[in-house]
Amino acid sequence: MKLPTPPLPKALRPSPKRPGHDRGNGRDGNAVGAPPKPTAKDQAVEGAASAIGWLDERTGATPALRFLLYRKTPYTNWYYTLGSATLFAFLSQAVTGVFLAMYYEPDPTRAYESASRITNEVFLGEFVRGMHKWGSTVMIILIFLHMGRVFFFGAYKYPRELNWIIGVVLLVLVLMMGLTGYLLPFDQRSFWATVVAVNLNASGPVIGPYLADFLRAGAEFGPTTISRFYALHMLAIPGLIIALIGAHLYLVVKLGTTAPPWLKAEKKDLLTEEV
């Protein structure tokens, strides 16, 4: 910071520095006329800038980030946050799911015990399992609210139909997550609910029974049914969901956000009549 010069008589004022005074003067190992030595602060700023520049030059991140973040948005309100709230719910499910997978054993003779061990013995296990359990319900509620916002605001219309379709596929995948996750605690409720759910699949003509066989890995609830549900629940379906969320967000960024239906487009007076 530069302080104002005090009003001193000219004789007492410090004389202006000679040109080249901050350059090397032959002492302290600096060559005569060498450029000034940067201070520690200069070096820190320069170092950070060059590290970012190094990344940017090699990834082309600046245009991508500008495309992603610096977009024109219309008037929005809190209903527009439901999509990102759903995304956050998904991330929460993913993180808590990873921690649950560290203790859970997908085996018909071990599943119930390992699940109750998470609740009763693992430090904060009850909390993480509760977050995953209640988070799944919250996520489904948020999805339907988000879907309602899109529907009632007419945001599914041209040119965003494809994003609506992707969203519907995502909804189905999330419901499949609910179905496959319900079996994993392996108590009476989850076992019989899954038996009923698989038999509902079997009620479809021609392919239904085969679908049920696929889910059970056989005609009866067998030794690999639970690991099959586990693999679908934590590998196959989440992979598809992540890929489709990527496509969903890309289209949001590409096509932009719709204004609420009660806002009319501003008409510009292209011609003004002069009187």
Partner 1 sequence: MADPPKFDKKSRYTEGRGIAGGFEGETVTRRRLMEGGAHLAGATAIIAIALPGLGFALGPIFEDTIPTRWQDVGPEDDFNNESYVARIINIVPEVGDPGKTTVYVRRLNRERDTRVEGQDPQPYVAISTRCAHVGCPVRYIQASQKFLCPCHGGVYGFEGQVEGGPPVRPLDRFYTRVTNGRVEIGDRFSLNSRFERFSTRDPSNHLDGLWQYLYPSRPTT
| Residue 236 vs 251, nearer CB to partner 1 | 236
In whole angstroms, how close is the CB of 41 to partner 1 at the nearest point?
55
Does 238 bind partner 1 (CB under 8 A)? Our answer is: no
Among 99, 103, 182, 221, binds partner 1 (CB under 8 A): 221
In whole angstroms, how close is the CB of 179 to partner 1 at the nearest point?
14
134: which 2 tokens?
């209640």
* Residues of this chain, 173-192, that bind partner 1 according to CB under 8 A: 191-192
Sign of the alpha-carbon torsion through 240, 241, 242, 245: positive
Per CB under 8 A, the segment of 22-30, 46-54, 96-104, 205-213 that binds partner 1 is 205-213
In whole angstroms, how close is the CB of 108 to partner 1 at the nearest point?
4
- Dihedral angle of Cα 142, 143, 149, 151, to the nearest 10 degrees: -160
In whole angstroms, how close is the CB of 42 to partner 1 at the nearest point?
53
**Which stretches of 11-78 are DSSP H helices?**
40-59, 61-69
Q: Cα separation of 17 and 37, whole Å? A: 17
Per CB under 8 A, the segment of 29-37, 73-81, 204-212, 241-249 that binds partner 1 is 204-212
Does 12 bind partner 1 (CB under 8 A)? Our answer is: no
Per CB under 8 A, the segment of 12-20, 54-62, 174-182, 210-218 that binds partner 1 is 210-218
Among 5, 21, 220, 272, binds partner 1 (CB under 8 A): 220
| Residue 141 vs 232, nearer CB to partner 1 | 232
125's CB contacts (< 8 A; 6+ apart) are 103, 117, 118, 119
Residue environment code for 166-184, b if the CB has 16+ CB neighbours within 10 A, otherwise e: bbeebeebbebbebbbbbb
Does 69 bind partner 1 (CB under 8 A)? Our answer is: no
* Residues of this chain, 99-158, that bind partner 1 according to CB under 8 A: 108-109
Check if the beta carbon of residue 89 is closer than 8 Å to that of residue 241.
no
**Which stretches of the chain are DSSP H helices?**
40-59, 61-69, 82-101, 111-120, 125-152, 161-183, 188-202, 208-216, 225-231, 237-255
Check if the beta carbon of residue 98 is closer than 8 Å to that of residue 238.
no
Among 17, 158, 205, 264, binds partner 1 (CB under 8 A): 205
Check if the beta carbon of residue 225 is closer than 8 Å to that of residue 217.
yes
Does 82 bind partner 1 (CB under 8 A)? Our answer is: no
Separation of CA 250 from chain center: 12
Among 206, 265, 271, 275, binds partner 1 (CB under 8 A): 206
In whole angstroms, how close is the CB of 120 to partner 1 at the nearest point?
20
Q: How many residues appear in the chain? A: 275
Does 259 bind partner 1 (CB under 8 A)? Our answer is: no
Residues forming the site for partner 1 (CB under 8 A):
108-109, 191-192, 195-196, 198-200, 202-203, 205-206, 208-210, 212-214, 216-225
